[in-house]
Structure 1
Amino acid sequence: MKQQVVVIVGPTAVGKTALSVEIAKAFQGEIISGDSMQIYKGMDIGTAKVTEEERQGIPHYLIDFKQPDESFSVAEFQNLVEHSILEISQKGKLPIIAGGTGLYIQAALYGYEFSETKRNDTYQKKIEKEIELQGTNAVYERLKKVDPIQAEKVHPNNTRRLVRALEVYDRTGQTMTENHEKQLEESKYEPILIGLEMERSRLYERINLRVDQMIEQGLMKEVEYFYTKGLTDSQSMKAIGYKEFIPYFEGEQSEEKSIELLKRNSRRYAKRQMTWFKNKMNVDWYSILPETKETVFQNILSDLAGKIR
């Protein structure tokens, strides 16, 4: 019998954290963060990291275990989730994954094999040299020719993912997209996928409000701390919530403009999250508004009671 895993997905600021805690309390669960940024120590405000108070005593996994100058990959996440699910289930508890990083969650549930093509430092240096000589756009155009689907998912300036996608193609003869499509759609778990969605204008209001609250909580000081540590080029600082303020600290952009960019990027990210989950995963969706939260949560708990063994 497969291990049941409850998975809560949806756009940023919709209420996933609160729901995951309610489910954990109702069904003797423990929570695994499915967010690729809450892994970093000290990056609390910009990642909307779950606070001790919000956790309500429920154990949380995969939070605060990496330094901000360290990199992190989907394959590493996949491995850590597997270990966390095992640890939680061995305690007789229900594993609950809560988060919004679509590729990470899909990889953890459906067992993409990343290990077959391990990273090759020599190859990486070769591509980085190409980028240096020809420019990022020329190398990105090559990816668009060989794997247009993957190119859509990779920002031209994200050299780490750009290099990886080309490395997989050059070394295996298969694109990363083909590699993913070959993977088993069958999960080794029994995932119960719950999605929270909100009417777009209301969600965007919540996102804007959340950014204002982050600023009040001291987001600028948090970003400045990592900026002064010289982490501008690290993977962690390329995330939404941090990258928008680097031009401000370099004297190239006003604080107001940086805040507006953060709001805009957060709204766009929410839209991309919804597109990903609607297209890639078989989710039971629940529409929620701040004023209907309690009723919707009760409906979800009631529906889950009929599914969880």
Structure 2
Amino acid sequence: MKEKLLVIVGPTAVGKTKTGIELAKEFKGEVISGDSMQIYKGMDIGTAKVTYDEMEGVPHHLIDIKEPTESFSVAEFQSLTKPLICQINERRHLPIIVGGTGLYIQAVTHDYQFADAPSDEEYRLQLEAEVEEHGVEFIHQKLKTIDRESYERIHPNNYRRVIRALEIYHSTNKTMTQYIEEQHKDSPYDLLIIGLVMERELLYERINKRVDLMVENGLIEEAQRLYGQGVRHCQSVQAIGYKEIYDYIEGRLTKEDAIELLKRNSRRYAKRQFTWFRNKMDVEWFNMDDDFNKKIAEIKKNVAGKLL
């Protein structure tokens, strides 16, 4: 018998968090955050992290497990999530991954193997020498020319991950993402992926309002605190929501321009998320334009019929 796994995906601000909690309450579920940023302690407003009250008693996992100065990778997410799915099933509860970081989720749902990627020790040593001589930014720029997706995902300070991505491309002539996805594995789980979507203008309006609410709730003060604690040049603060405010803190943007840039970057990110999930995962989509409670009832019926 395969272990059960429910996944809820979709673009930012579409309502994934609330949907996950409603389904968890209905089906004795436990939520596993599938967001690569909510793992960081003290980064609450900019990541739209679920609050204790919003959880409504539903257990949540993989939130606040890393310091903002630490790096995090898709392989690490996979290694943490797989045992959680097993433990939650053993409790006869339903594991529900909720999030928008597509490659992280897909690495779990289809059990991608990272350690099996080819290596080239001579080339790796050459790259390490280049880091020593020219700095980490030098090899990070190399990655930009061949694998834009990994370049955007991996912070230059995490130079071992940068080197690994370059090494895979050197050995296979495929980007890290291509190499992983071409494994074409069936899922090891009894899997259902629910996708939430919304009419574009309505979604963009929600994103803009969310950003305004973040600012009202203290996003700039949160970023200033992190900056004052020396959290700079780290993977965590390269995320949308922090890098724009850091540009304001460091005087490159006005406050108003930083907020507008944050809204624009969030809208573009939402578009990329939807495209990714639509093209790369087998998702059952639900349009959330309608009455939320009515739509949740429809999703609950779908989950009960297909997974339970």
Change (3 A) 1:122 1:232: farther
- 2:254 and 2:100 map into 1 onto residues whose CA distance is 29
Match of 1:139 among 125, 139, 142: 142
Change (3 A) 1:177 1:74: closer
Q: How does the TM-score come out when normalised to structure 1?
A: 0.90
Match of 1:194 in 2: 194
- 1:134 and 1:36 map into 2 onto residues whose CA distance is 22
Whether the 8 Å contact between 2:12 and 2:270 is mirrored in structure 1 is: yes
SS of the residue corresponding to residue 306 of structure 2 reads coil
1:110 maps to amino acid: H
Residue 251 of structure 1 deviates from its aligned partner by: 1.8
1:154 maps to amino acid: Y
Match of 1:126 in 2: 129
The one-character-per-residue Cα deviations of 1:236-262 (angstroms, maximum 9, x if unpaired) are: 011111011112111221110110111
2:129 maps to amino acid: K
Whether the 8 Å contact between 2:33 and 2:61 is mirrored in structure 1 is: yes
Match of 1:75 in 2: 75
Match of 1:31 in 2: 31
Change (3 A) 1:218 1:175: closer
Identical positions, percent:
50
- 1:133 and 1:209 map into 2 onto residues whose CA distance is 37
Whether the 8 Å contact between 2:131 and 2:138 is mirrored in structure 1 is: no
SS of the residue corresponding to residue 39 of structure 1 reads coil
SS of the residue corresponding to residue 266 of structure 1 reads helix
1:258 maps to amino acid: A
- 1:139 and 1:278 map into 2 onto residues whose CA distance is 29
Match of 1:274 in 2: 274
Whether the 8 Å contact between 2:190 and 2:307 is mirrored in structure 1 is: no
1:19 maps to amino acid: T
The one-character-per-residue Cα deviations of 1:159-195 (angstroms, maximum 9, x if unpaired) are: 3465432122335665424521442420111210100
Match of 2:247 in 1: 247
Whether the 8 Å contact between 1:288 and 1:296 is mirrored in structure 2 is: yes
Which structure 1 segments of 5+ residues have no match?
145-149
Which structure 2 segments of 5+ residues have no match?
none
Greater shift after overlay, 47-56 or 119-128? 119-128
| Structure 1 position 106 matched with structure 2 position 109 | no
Q: How does the TM-score come out when normalised to structure 2?
A: 0.90
- Where do residues 13-28 of structure 1 align in structure 2 (5 Å cutoff)? 13-28=13-28
The one-character-per-residue Cα deviations of 1:209-230 (angstroms, maximum 9, x if unpaired) are: 0000000110001000111122
Change (3 A) 1:230 1:218: same
Change (3 A) 1:117 1:228: farther
CA RMSD of aligned residues (A): 2.5
Match of 1:211 in 2: 211
Return structure 1 stretches of 4+ with deviation > 6 angstroms: 118-121
* Length, aligned pairs only: 302
